[in-house]
Structure 1
Amino acid sequence: MNMESSMTRWLIAIGLLLLPSLHLQATPWQDVPAAEVEAQLDKKFADGKYSPKGADTCLTCHRKSATVMAMFDGAHGNLDNPKSPMADLQCEACHGPLGTHNKKNSKDPMITFGLNSPVPAEKQNSICLSCHNDEERMAWQGNHHDNADVPCASCHQIHVANDPIRDKSQEVAICTQCHTEQRAQLHQRSAHPLKNNQMVCSDCHNAHGSLADSSLKQMSVNDNCYSCHAEKRGPMLWEHAPVTDNCVNCHNPHGSVNEAMLTIKAPQLCQQCHASVGHTGNAYFNGQPNAFTAGQSCMNCHGQIHGSNHPSGNLLQR
């Protein structure tokens, strides 16, 4: 074999290696208007032209991407799991039929995921929910995240060995990227210990929706609180009406500048209800500091504010 022939074969080999990358740089379909992309994807699903070689066709171009190949380290790329996408349509199970996507100069789109995708969140999530339709997600339709058009991929990562949001040490940081008001409250004087990862958002909330307000895991605010604060549950011989009604009448569970996560400092908090007669409407007697402003304020005397079982505890004093 002469030198010229060897050089020719070497150049051909280099060209074949570069061909996938040149193809990817051609005319990206990401520049196509979102409405047109959605229409094309609808047509592709109707046509149902899947690749006969599955993931092998996709990896012809995408195998050099570390992000793509990381999928095989996680559950979605597990070839031995019969419930994995790899056991069925493989990449196309999530990204849709191949169609002519791998053809030269093709603008044939595939489904992409996340906030920057031209595919509407509802359609993105329908792909995820086609498999993830267990009881944890039965209330997804109409819940806060669904109504806000939040795609699953804005919280979850698929092409990884372990989804970060499933790691409790990272969960709060991920949730508070959007829930900024709650992030600020976590750093106030009195708060549940989420900033130290002793608790996480999912201890109280189901991010995929629930039948309770605020996607709480229990059917009411109080039941949610009682799952940890069982000593406040009752029933009590002498009950305090706002306590039995709703804990957040007095407390902000995400944090407060006041002690015990109170929404307003006592005695002003108590005087929102107890301000009509007697000493309850006065913070000072004869201009002198007193039990209203010292220590626990009203709770200096009414220490059993969550309820009392003492025969003489009708004023929640014992």
Structure 2
Amino acid sequence: MRFLRTLITLLALLSGAGVSHAAPDAAAAQARLAKDAICTKCHDETESRPLFLYQTKHGVRGDSRAPTCQSCHGESTAHATQEKNRPSPDVNFNKGGAYPTAHAKARGQSCMTCHQGGNRMHWDGGQHQRAGLACNDCHKVHQPKDNVLTKATQPEVCYGCHKTQRAETHKISTHPIVAGKVTCSDCHNPHGTNSNKLVKRANVNDTCFNCHAEKRGPFLWQHTSANDDCMNCHTPHGSNVAPLLKVRGPWLCQRCHAEVANHPGNIYSGAQLPGAPAVGNNPPVQVAFRGCFNCHQAIHGSNHPAGRNFLR
């Protein structure tokens, strides 16, 4: 009984706390709606760029963190009150409209007022910021669905600028981007990083190892080229040589291993592998078709005591 009375008392206290805060929260929400009404009396879903603010996270007026129209566009008093020759809002995000678009820095500052830190901490000085982009060049904050935040539709937003990468994803060997299983932000942080090519990890290899952990090692016998940079051999967006190789073997390997002119079965020497029938100067099938990978299959590294040459 004592436990039951204690529980009832605690529930009553919690209920009382909720009641005491309900009125101020409701009043604050109504105040935010009233401020929005200055803008929404004209701007709604009938616009050429429809405004569905209250179907987005920015329009949740019960959340005190959500901005009002003026939080992003500025007070824009003259724009809201002047009937003739109406001037532009203080910060205009639209491109190609009746008013000049605000500078990318001003548009970015409106967003960064709230969206600071986290994966955006390297935005200033990042590649996209230096290219003159602002948040709304990729994000659509007045729409219920922001394509850049959805895995299946995000690549199309990026391809608006990165057209070469779009073409590469349609080659015969790619990451499953078109299938919607991998998207750009799985590897890149578009808001900026302290590494090259906006990769999310410290370097390209660490980014690849996030999925391809079996290639990480450490191995007893390390392949220097593979440990240096995955992109020495692979092209990440797409290739006509599986698996995502820059060129077909043995030419891929001979970019580094040019000194193997006397290697048995070398494509240039015409020498034969041990036990192979003599066929004149024609290279053996091991080289003429797949080449080096027929024998050297543990190419990223080997833990076998006899695996110095990465043989299978």
What residue number does 1:226 align with?
209
Residue 287, structure 1, aligned to residue 281, structure 2: yes
**Counterparts of 2:138 and 2:164 in 1: how far apart (Å)?**
18
Deviation at 1:115, TM superposition (A): 4.8
Q: What TM-score comes out, normalization by structure 2 length?
A: 0.79
Which amino acid counterpart does residue 60 of structure 1 have in structure 2?
Answer: K
Deviation at 1:289, TM superposition (A): 3.2
- What secondary structure, in the 3-state scheme, does the structure 2 residue paired with 1:92 have? helix
Q: Residue 114 of structure 1 contacts residue 154 of structure 1 at CA under 8 Å; is this kept in 2? A: no
Change (3 A) 1:115 1:298: farther
Residue 96, structure 1, aligned to residue 90, structure 2: no
Structure 1 range deviating more: 246-255 or 139-148: 139-148
- Residue number among 125, 134, 138 corresponding to 1:142 in the alignment: 125
Change (3 A) 1:232 1:115: farther
**Counterparts of 2:236 and 2:181 in 1: how far apart (Å)?**
15
Residue 130, structure 1, aligned to residue 113, structure 2: yes
**Counterparts of 1:71 and 1:267 in 2: how far apart (Å)?**
57
Structure 1 range deviating more: 142-151 or 239-248: 142-151
Question: Cα deviation per residue 1:235-263 (whole Å; 9 max; x = unaligned)?
Answer: 11111110110000000011111111111
Deviation at 1:234, TM superposition (A): 0.7
Which amino acid counterpart does residue 171 of structure 1 have in structure 2?
Answer: Q
What residue number does 1:186 align with?
169
What residue number does 1:20 align with?
none
**Counterparts of 2:207 and 2:136 in 1: how far apart (Å)?**
28
Structure 1 range deviating more: 288-297 or 133-142: 288-297
Change (3 A) 1:64 1:135: closer
Deviation at 1:184, TM superposition (A): 0.5
What residue number does 1:65 align with?
46
Matches within 5 A, 1:30-45: none
Q: Residue 241 of structure 2 contacts residue 248 of structure 2 at CA under 8 Å; is this kept in 1? A: yes
User: Which structure carries more relative contact order (alpha carbon 8 Å, separation 6+)?
Assistant: 1
Question: Cα deviation per residue 1:196-249 (whole Å; 9 max; x = unaligned)?
Answer: 111111111111111221111111111111111111111111111101100000
Deviation at 1:295, TM superposition (A): 4.1
**Counterparts of 1:194 and 1:139 in 2: how far apart (Å)?**
26
Structure 1 range deviating more: 203-212 or 103-112: 103-112
Residue 112, structure 1, aligned to residue 106, structure 2: no
Change (3 A) 1:160 1:271: same
What residue number does 1:298 align with?
292
What residue number does 1:8 align with?
none
Change (3 A) 1:253 1:261: same
What residue number does 2:145 align with?
162
Matches within 5 A, 1:74-85: 74-85=56-67
Question: Cα deviation per residue 1:138-162 (whole Å; 9 max; x = unaligned)?
Answer: 0111111111111211111111223
How many percent identity over aligned positions? 37
Change (3 A) 1:64 1:269: closer
Deviation at 1:107, TM superposition (A): 3.7
**Counterparts of 2:261 and 2:160 in 1: how far apart (Å)?**
48
Q: What TM-score comes out, normalization by structure 1 length?
A: 0.77
The alignment of Structure 1 onto Structure 2 pairs a total of residues equal to 264
What residue number does 2:250 align with?
267
